[in-house]
Every structure is written in structure tokens, then in C-alpha cells.
């Protein structure tokens, strides 16, 4: 089983790279986003990129603007898709003991109208053998994630200054091993995106993803058996700049901060805390027919932990793209 799962991970990587090399680069990415009445008449004049709200944070795969029109013309309101996001730690990869991990979902979408749809996405994880976060050698494994239901609306409002507002609401179902161990009842997330075209083929967007979780108990235990408070809420927000280098190739840069709030557990002497992370990424995106790719590097840096930190952590200066905090990323999104 170990060799089989590891083979699956490497075959996914090789297949994606092979397709990239054997085909021409696809069109510049955008999301399946509704156009306003004023911009719809200019669709052939302005190349504006948008984002698919159906995809999770850091897993955004851009879709050609014409895709929404294509889906709206389908006789059936149903559509299907598959998403794979494979990552590997940069330092472990260089040292030769890397563990490849992938987040995957199979999406089932139901189109309500031109601007909105309902989605159901079963999630699963694949990991190859290698060293884990704690430096321990582990075997390959497959785990079930939390599936979610989502309502997406791609044309909530057109704000002054030609700023588009798009949104989605997610309800996660606690079916993963992690959620069951934490006694999770449900988790919700609101996703709001504001986009502003800056020039032909260039767009700036602001993303805000607040989420809140409900539990049967306030705390659980860590990997080493120590008590800890469950994560109560999270807010991820960032700016992203997308540039269509050509009609077939795009680049994007992202910078933002993630805040996480954790419950206190008085009976265990655990105090409430809040952590903050700086999130940076540099990506290149392209498509081949109905297959979209996005590859690059991700840098997540823990800025502050709102509890007593060790002297070593307090003295450590902020450094971007430090190897031990860097991940290589390859995302693939297939529409059927």
C-alpha cells in the first residue's frame, strides 16, 4: 500500500509536467465570474481575470472568462471537476527525504442561474512516505477530509470605481479524523472577493475569508498528548495581483495575513491565544483545454504567537522565503 500511494503521488506530478511540456500554454486565467451589464459588451476588448470561488484558499486555479458562458449554455445544469494540489517542503526536497502531500477533491456543481451555483466537494488527502513535520520517517497514507457544501454568487454587486464584489458561503461537514478527534460539530466560512481592473490584462483583488467552528468541547490534545484549545475562528485576508503576460500565460503575486483564535480550557490550565501568519506566494498559471495548472512557491511565516515564546523565537528576525518555511506547489484543476 505504501509503494502504491507513493507511486500515485509521483505519477500525478509526472503526468502534469508531461502535459505541460507536450502542449501549448493555455489561455490566461480568470474565474467563472459573471460580468456586469456594462462590462459584458466589452468582453472582447478587456482581458480581465477573475477567481473561482469554488476553490479553497491557496488553491485558486484561474478559469478563462468564457468558461462561465460555456457552462451556462450547457443543457444540463450539472458539471463536474477534479482538483489536485501537491506540495513538498523545499528543505526536505533538497535533502532527498521529502514527503509529497496532496489535497484533492471531486466537485459536483449545480448551476442555479448565470450568476450562482451550488457545489458539493468530497475532500481527500494523499501523502507519500518520507519525513513528517517532526522529522519522523512515516509511511504513505490516504485520509478523508471534511467535505463541504457551497453556495457561490459571482455578481453580488458592482461597486463604484468598477470594483466587482463576489462571494461564497461554505458549510464543512466533520467527517475527517481530525474533526472527529476534536469533536467538531460544524465549520462555516464566508468568502468575499473584491476585484479591480488596473489595466489591460492586469487586475488587483482583495480577499477576505472569515471562518468559525463549533465543537462539542473546547479542547483536545496535541500530537504529543498535551492539552490544547480547539481553533475557534480564523480570518485570512490578502491582496493578489494578476498579470496576463500573454493571452496564454499569467503570473500572480499574493501577500496577506492569517489570524487564528483558540479557545481556553480552564480545567487544563490552557489560556486563550491568537496566532498570526504572514502568507506570501509567487505563481505562474496556464491552461491546456479544460485542464488548468498553477505552479510556484508558497511562504507561510509565523509572525507572532500571543503567549510566552522562547528566547530563541523572540530573537529570530523576520526573513522572507527562508528554506525551512518554503514549499513548492503544483495545482491542477480539471473540468469535465
Rounded to an integer, what distance in angstroms lies between the CA atom of residue 204 and that of residue 164?
A: 11
**Distance separating alpha carbons of residues 236 and 257, to the nearest angstrom:** 6
Average pLDDT over residues 176-180: 93
Helix, coil or strand: residue 313: helix
| Residue 324 to residues 228, 289, 311, Cα–Cα distance (Å) | 25, 36, 19
Instruction: Report which DSSP code applies to 12.
Output: H
Say which CATH number the domain at 324 has: 2.40.160.40
Whether 87 shows a pLDDT value over 90: the answer reads: yes
Whether the per-residue pLDDT at 254 is higher than 80: the answer is: yes
pLDDT in tens, 263-318: 999 888 899 999 999 999 999 999 888 899 999 999 999 887 555 444 555 556 67
Per-residue DSSP letters for 160-219?
TTTEEEEEEEEEE---SHHHHHTTEEEEEEEEEEEEEEEETTEEEEEEEEEEEEEESSSE
Place of cell 500515485: 8
User: Stretch 203-217: mean pLDDT, rounded?
Assistant: 97
Q: Taking 60 as the threshold, does the pLDDT of residue 322 lie above it?
A: yes
Question: Residue 51's closest CA among 37, 68, 38?
Answer: 68
Q: Say how many domains are in the chain.
A: 1
CA distance 34 to 21: 32
- Dihedral angle sign, alpha carbons of residues 64, 65, 68, 71: negative
The whole-number pLDDT of residue 222 equals 76
SS3 87: strand
Radius of gyration for the alpha carbons in the chain, expressed in angstroms and rounded = 21
Q: What is the sign of the dihedral through the CA atoms of 225, 231, 235 and 236?
A: positive
- pLDDT for residue 308: 47
Q: Determine the average pLDDT of the residues in 111-115.
A: 91
Q: Please, are residues 29 and 63 in contact by the beta-carbon 8 Å criterion?
A: yes
For residue 197, pLDDT beyond 80? yes
CB atoms within 10 A of CB 12: 18
Least confident span in 62-66, 74-78, 170-174, 263-267 = 62-66
Query: Would you give the DSSP letter of residue 225?
Result: S
Q: Distances from the Cα of 262 to the Cαs of 9, 152, 182, 270, in angstroms? A: 33, 28, 13, 10
Average pLDDT over residues 201-221: 94
For CA atoms 299, 304, 310, 316, the dihedral sign is: positive
Beta strand pairing status for 116-121 and 163-172?
Answer: unpaired
Q: Strand, coil or helix: what is 335?
A: strand
**Per-residue model confidence as pLDDT tens digits over 16-59:** 544 444 444 333 333 333 333 333 333 333 333 344 444 443 33
- pLDDT, the chain, mean: 80
Buried-exposed string 151-179: b where 16+ CB fall within 10 A, e elsewhere: ebbbbbeeeeeeebebbbebebbbebeeb
Of 122-131, 150-159, 307-316, the range with the lowest mean pLDDT is 307-316
CA dist 69 and 218 (Å) reads: 46
Place of cell 506570501: 280
The single-letter DSSP state of residue 324 is G
**pLDDT on residue 12:** 52
CA distances in angstroms from 75 to 64, 72, 79, 111, 259, listed in the order given: 20, 8, 11, 11, 43
Q: What span, in angstroms and rounded, lies between the C-alpha atoms of 195 and 55?
A: 17
129 is in which domain, residue-wise? 2-335
pLDDT of residue 129: 86
In the three-class reduction of DSSP (H, G, I as helix; E, B as strand; rest coil), residue 70 is classed as: helix
Amino acid at each position: 500500500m505504501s509503494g502504491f500511494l507513493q507511486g500515485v503521488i509521483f505519477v500525478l506530478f509526472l503526468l502534469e509536467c508531461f502535459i505541460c511540456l507536450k502542449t501549448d500554454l493555455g489561455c490566461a486565467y480568470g474565474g467563472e465570474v459573471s460580468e456586469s451589464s456594462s462590462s459584458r459588451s466589452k468582453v472582447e476588448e478587456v482581458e480581465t481575470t477573475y477567481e473561482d470561488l469554488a476553490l479553497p484558499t491557496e488553491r485558486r486555479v484561474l478559469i478563462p472568462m468564457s468558461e462561465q458562458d460555456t457552462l451556462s449554455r450547457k443543457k444540463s445544469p450539472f458539471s463536474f471537476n477534479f482538483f489536485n494540489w501537491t506540495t513538498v517542503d523545499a528543505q526536505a526536497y533538497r535533502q532527498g527525504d521529502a514527503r509529497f502531500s496532496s489535497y484533492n477533491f471531486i466537485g459536483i456543481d449545480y448551476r442555479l442561474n448565470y450568476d450562482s451555483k451550488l457545489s458539493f466537494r468530497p475532500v481527500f488527502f494523499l501523502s507519500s512516505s518520507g519525513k513528517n513535520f517532526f522529522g519522523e520517517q512515516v509511511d504513505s497514507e490516504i485520509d478523508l477530509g471534511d467535505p463541504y457544501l457551497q453556495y457561490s454568487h459571482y455578481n453580488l454587486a458592482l461597486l463604484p470605481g468598477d470594483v466587482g464584489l463576489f462571494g461564497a458561503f461554505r458549510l464543512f461537514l466533520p467527517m475527517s479524523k481530525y474533526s472527529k478527534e476534536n469533536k467538531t460539530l460544524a465549520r462555516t466560512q464566508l468568502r468575499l472577493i473584491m476585484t479591480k481592473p488596473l489595466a489591460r490584462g492586469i487586475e488587483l483583488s482583495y480577499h477576505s475569508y472569515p471562518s468559525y467552528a463549533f465543537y462539542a468541547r473546547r479542547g483536545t490534545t496535541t500530537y504529543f498528548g498535551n492539552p490544547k484549545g480547539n481553533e475557534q475562528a480564523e480570518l485570512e485576508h490578502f491582496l493578489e495581483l494578476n498579470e496576463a503576460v500573454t493571452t496564454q500565460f499569467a503570473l500572480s503575486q499574493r501577500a496577506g495575513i492569517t489570524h487564528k483564535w483558540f479557545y481556553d480550557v480552564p480545567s487544563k490550565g490552557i489560556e486563550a491565544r491568537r496566532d498570526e501568519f504572514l502568507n506570501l506566494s509567487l505563481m505562474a498559471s496556464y491552461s491546456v483545454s479544460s485542464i488548468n495548472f498553477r505552479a510556484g512557491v508558497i511562504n507561510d511565516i509565523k509572525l507572532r504567537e500571543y503567549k510566552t515564546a522562547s528566547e530563541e523565537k523572540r530573537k529570530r528576525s523576520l526573513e522572507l522565503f527562508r528554506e525551512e518555511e518554503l514549499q513548492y506547489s503544483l495545482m491542477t484543476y480539471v473540468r469535465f
